[in-house]
Structure 1
Amino acid sequence: MHPLLLEGLTDAIGFVGGALVAYWLGKLLGFDPLAPGYGGSTLGGIVLVGLGGGLGLQVARRWRAKARKGE
């Protein structure tokens, strides 16, 4: 597999996976990023999803770097 394709796929999977985990965690905590309006619950949910996506992306990149070292 082409290295750039692998990089893009792992970044996408990490970002979307992290965002989904944060979305469901936020729903459990009472935050809903898809609620109508811009209340505290909505803004908190949006922040959580953004942080989760960024964290998932960083995890994917660290995993890829670690896998590259082990080759």
Structure 2
Amino acid sequence: MSTAQQLLLEGCTDALGFVGGALAGWGLAHVLGLELFAPGYGAGTIAAIALVGLCAGLGLKLARFGRARMRVQTGKN
């Protein structure tokens, strides 16, 4: 696989992990009754924003972990 293909794969998996994690965080906030887009910055809105950010970061970390694990299993560095 060429360097350009590797970089494209890395960018796409990072984006999917980040967006997927953010959507999971938004869904979790919604289930918990926290309104992300409420007017003003109340405690519930701040908690929802933090939850979305945390889940987005975790999704990105999970995507990178999966990519590294796949590299180890296939024997490619």
TM more than 0.5: yes
Q: Does 1:23 align with 2:43?
A: no
Distance 2:35 2:16 in 1: 22
Q: Number of aligned pairs?
A: 71
* Residues 1-71 of structure 1 mapped to structure 2, 5 A cutoff: 2-71=5-74
User: What SS does structure 2 have at the residue aligned with 1:7?
Assistant: helix
Q: Letter of the aligned partner of 2:6 in structure 1?
A: P
Shift of 1:48: 0.3
For residue 30 of structure 1, report the CA deviation from its aligned partner.
1.1
Cα offset, 1:14, TM superposition: 0.2
Q: Percent identity?
A: 55
How far does residue 24 in structure 1 lie from its aligned partner after superposition?
0.5
Q: Deviations over 1:1-25 (max 9, x none)?
A: 6000000000000000001001011
Measure the CA separation in 1 of the matches of 2:24 and 2:31. 11
Question: Once superposed, what is the RMSD of the aligned Cα atoms?
Answer: 0.9
Larger radius of gyration: 2
